[in-house]
Amino acid sequence: MKKIGIFLLSSLGLINPSIFGAMSKHIVDYRIQVKLQPETKGLAGRETVTWLNDSLVPVSELQFHLYLNAFKNNRSTFMKESGGAHRGFKVDENDWGYITVKNVRIRDGEDLTSRMEFIQPDDGNPDDQTVMRIPLAAPVGPQERIALEIEFEAKLPRVFARSGFADDFYMAGQWFPKLGVNQDGVWNCHQYHESSEFFADYGVFEVEITVPKGYVVGATGQRTSERDNGDGTASYTHYQEDVHDFAWTACPDFVEFRERFYLEDLPVDSEIILLVHRQHLNQKPRFLDSLKKGLEFYSRNYGPYPYQTVTLVDPPIKAMGAGGMEYPTLFTTMAVWFMPKGLRMPEMVTIHEFGHGYWYGIVGSNEFEEAWLDEGINSYSEMKAMDRYYGHDRSMVDLGPLKISDGDYHRLQFIPIFAWDPIVKNSWEFVSGGSYGSNVYSKAALTLKTLENHLGEEVMARIMRTYYERWKFRHPTTGDFIAVAEEVSGRDLGWFFDQFLKTAGSLDYAVSGIRSREEEEPAGFYGEEFLAPKPDKSGRDKDQDKVYRNEVVVQRKGELFFPQEILVTFEDGEEIREIWDGRDRWRRFIYRRPVKLKSARLDPENKILLDVNFFNNSKVLKPDRASPLKYALGLALKFQEFLTWLSF
Ligand SMILES: [Zn+2]
């Protein structure tokens, strides 16, 4: 109803829909025409970009990302950091990629071409050309706009890291001169790094893409027109407001499927567009089903999906390096035709990459400086969605006796290498891609799940919803997330976030000792009296007279603390639940009972997923057979190698 009303009013010219309907402040406005040249793997482009100075101070230069230059040679910062490999895919040194700005001028004004200059704000590497500055003769005043006309040429690399080509498949991401984010007059415009994704401002994108006829095109936003140019090419125009980037793909071997997705009780009504490569058409039902689950889960738990389209791109096997990547309203997934049903990689990747539409797309997290706000929150969301739809104990792998949950998978990623870095840190300053992945994705996801277990599911759900609602179409920081968590929960959570987000310390509690010793009858000197020991020591005749001194010692082995529950069980079935604030290095509990201890177990409900060693969390007095949990974890560990390559 509402949508129809707006449409009628706008078609009568009564309102300007771009003002009325804007969900974000439109800082940027890009109008781009790009032509794909398949013979050279080149792009020829023209863009008009308008920028609003939304700060209170005049701004006297502009800064742009020229991210295809990450692939220009082997001395770019990305190539140096990565050694030319990304997620197991390697650069082809015969097929570099680059972008050249041929001409830039102020619309109807000064030619700025000679003013362009490469800068390297992060590492000073003179060979890196991924950021460009353009000093302006006259500054842009507060709330003023400047419009530039830019002509550029690009060549796509053979794809191994997100963007590029393979045969006649093309994935154009980070392909045009894109402005950085100006914050209070200062540009936030980082170089292209191995470990980091992206950050940009919201606005309007209208892009006309020209490709050989017969290519199937997918792109950010809605298609507003298409035409046959009569010269063997066709052009497709896409338009989207309230996004901060634009990506497109083209390939003659995509098969396109479209389906409406709507929810009756929420204002969600979008078109699902699947571009499935012919090689794995048999995976289409899995893509469609998991994308619907993602749309439903995120809409219900965080906020209704606000865009008219969502496009899933399934790259061919030769272009797997383009897989598992998010862009506004469009993402790439990953599958091969022989993927068994019980291995839920296509589902996990689909839900994860769709989910980025929320925590990178709609909430504009700065992935350079605080990547966990996207990857971590999104991995937590993915974990909850996977558990919800595929079973909490088998959401990732369900192959006969082998069952691995998404949470197990994140623990396997987290434990071996987390201790090198804290979660909150500049993305390019982690010791390795492994430490970045372990912390920013998995440890962050487990941190949020541990917080959920600590505060309760309902409180955590309100935190996430409030955070989304308050920060959508804006650029929050870690401090903003913490402020929402404290406000909604009504608790001081500084102790929690300071430890788990901001230090690399480890959390590990153990039951270090458990024993039951029979108390003896008094013997020795008691005042004036000497009591001789009884011949059978205990001096008692029958079992029921015995008294045991039962001791449990629990230990904090890691540097960090977390409140602990300890479940103490006795031979007669009695259970005692102890609470310990967990701050001292150890704590002893003593119980006098006519029976012995059976076991002591820390964190009996397994709430504290940040504890790096579950195996020392319990002790039984008489060694038992291996518990089913240990068996499952043991099996899971064997698959760790195999699972490592699934990390996105
Ligand atoms: Zn991700």
The pLDDT assigned to 520 comes to 85
9 C-alpha vs ligand 1 centroid, how far in Å? 39
Within 13 Å and on the Cβ side, how many CA atoms surround 22?
14
Residue 184 C-alpha to ligand 1 middle, in angstroms? Answer: 29
What was the pLDDT predicted at 522?
Answer: 84
CA of 132 to the centre of ligand 1 (A): 27
**Cα angle: 98, vertex 427, 316; to 5 degrees:** 50
Q: How far is the CA of 356 from the centre of ligand 1 (A)?
A: 7
350 Cα: distance to centroid of ligand 1 (angstroms): 10
CA of 646 to the centre of ligand 1 (A): 11
Return d(Cα 299, Cα 114) in angstroms, integer.
48
Q: How far is the CA of 352 from the centre of ligand 1 (A)?
A: 6
Please return the burial class of 3, using the count of CB atoms within 10 Å of its CB with bins 0-12, 13-18 and 19+.
exposed
CA distance 604 to 125: 52
pLDDT confidence of residue 14: 38
Give the distance (Å) from ligand 1 centre to CA of residue 648: 5
Measured in Å, residue 354 CA sits from the centre of ligand 1 at 9
Q: How far is the CA of 349 from the centre of ligand 1 (A)?
A: 9
- What 3-state DSSP class applies to 489? helix
Task: Calculate how far, in angstroms, residue 471's C-alpha sits from the geometric centre of ligand 1.
Answer: 19
Q: What separation in Å is there between the alpha carbon of 152 and the centre of ligand 1?
A: 30
Tokens of 599: 């076991």
Task: Give 422 Cα–ligand 1 centroid separation in angstroms.
Answer: 18
Whole-number Å distance, alpha carbon 527 to ligand 1 midpoint, is 73
Residue 501 phi, psi dihedral angles, 5° rounding: -95, -30
d(CA 214, CA 229): 12
Identify the CA nearest to 328 among candidates 466, 521, 473, 457: 473
* Gap from CA of 435 to ligand 1 centroid (Å): 15
pLDDT computed for residue 544 by the predictor:
55
Separation in Å, CA 460 to CA 99, 388, 455, 487: 44, 16, 7, 12
Q: Which two tokens stand for residue 306?
A: 């606000």
pLDDT attached to residue 626: 53
Q: Which two tokens stand for residue 590?
A: 């003593």
Cα 459 to ligand 1 centroid, rounded to whole Å: 25
State in Å: Cα 328 to ligand 1 middle.
13
**What b/e readout covers 554-587, taking b as 16+ CB neighbours within 10 angstroms?**
bbbbbebbbebbbbbbbbeeeeeeeebebeeeeb
Cα of 136 from ligand 1 centre, angstroms? 37
- DSSP character at residue 300: H
Centre of ligand 1 to C-alpha 113, Å, is: 36
Radius of gyration of the chain (CA): 29
Q: How far is the CA of 190 from the centre of ligand 1 (A)?
A: 19
Cα(325) to ligand 1 centroid in Å equals 7
> Looking at residue 630, what is its pLDDT?
55
Distance 199 CA to ligand 1 centre (A): 14
CA of 374 to the centre of ligand 1 (A): 7
HSE on the CB side for 300, CA within 13 Å?
A: 13
Are 250 and 235 in contact, with CB atoms under 8 Å apart? no
Rounded to the nearest angstrom, the distance between the alpha carbon of 264 and the centre of ligand 1 is 29
Asked if residue 536 lies in contact with residue 644, where contact means CB atoms within 8 angstroms, the answer is: no
CA of 234 to the centre of ligand 1 (A): 33
Cα 21 to averaged position of ligand 1 atoms, centre (Å): 29
Helix (H, G, I), strand (E, B) or coil at 439: helix
Tell me the CA–centroid distance for residue 238 and ligand 1, in Å: 25
Å from CA of 555 to ligand 1 middle: 36
Q: How far is the CA of 94 from the centre of ligand 1 (A)?
A: 29
Q: How far is the CA of 109 from the centre of ligand 1 (A)?
A: 42
What distance in Å separates the CA atoms of residue 30 and residue 47, rounded to the nearest whole number?
7
Mean pLDDT by 10-residue block, N- to C-terminus, for the chain (648 residues)?
38 40 94 98 98 98 97 95 89 93 96 97 97 97 98 96 95 98 97 94 98 98 98 98 98 98 97 95 95 98 98 95 95 85 94 97 97 98 97 94 94 92 97 95 98 98 98 98 98 98 97 94 86 67 77 98 98 97 98 96 96 95 60 51 44
Q: Which residue has the tokens 């001194």?
A: 549
Q: Which amino acid is at 204?
A: V
Contact 21, 195 (CB under 8 A): no
> Ligand 1 centroid vs 361 CA: distance in angstroms?
12
Q: What is the pLDDT of residue 337?
A: 76
Report helix, strand or coil for 134: strand
Residues around ligand 1, an ion, CB closer than 5 A: 375, 648
Q: How far is the CA of 376 from the centre of ligand 1 (A)?
A: 8
Ligand 1 centroid distance, CA of 371 (Å): 10
Spacing, Cα 324 to ligand 1 middle (Å): 7
Q: How many angstroms separate the alpha carbon of residue 548 from the centre of ligand 1?
A: 55
Cα of 565 vs centre of ligand 1, distance in Å, is 34
Q: How many CA atoms lie within 13 A of 111 on its CB side?
A: 6
C-alpha of residue 377 to centroid of ligand 1, in Å: 10
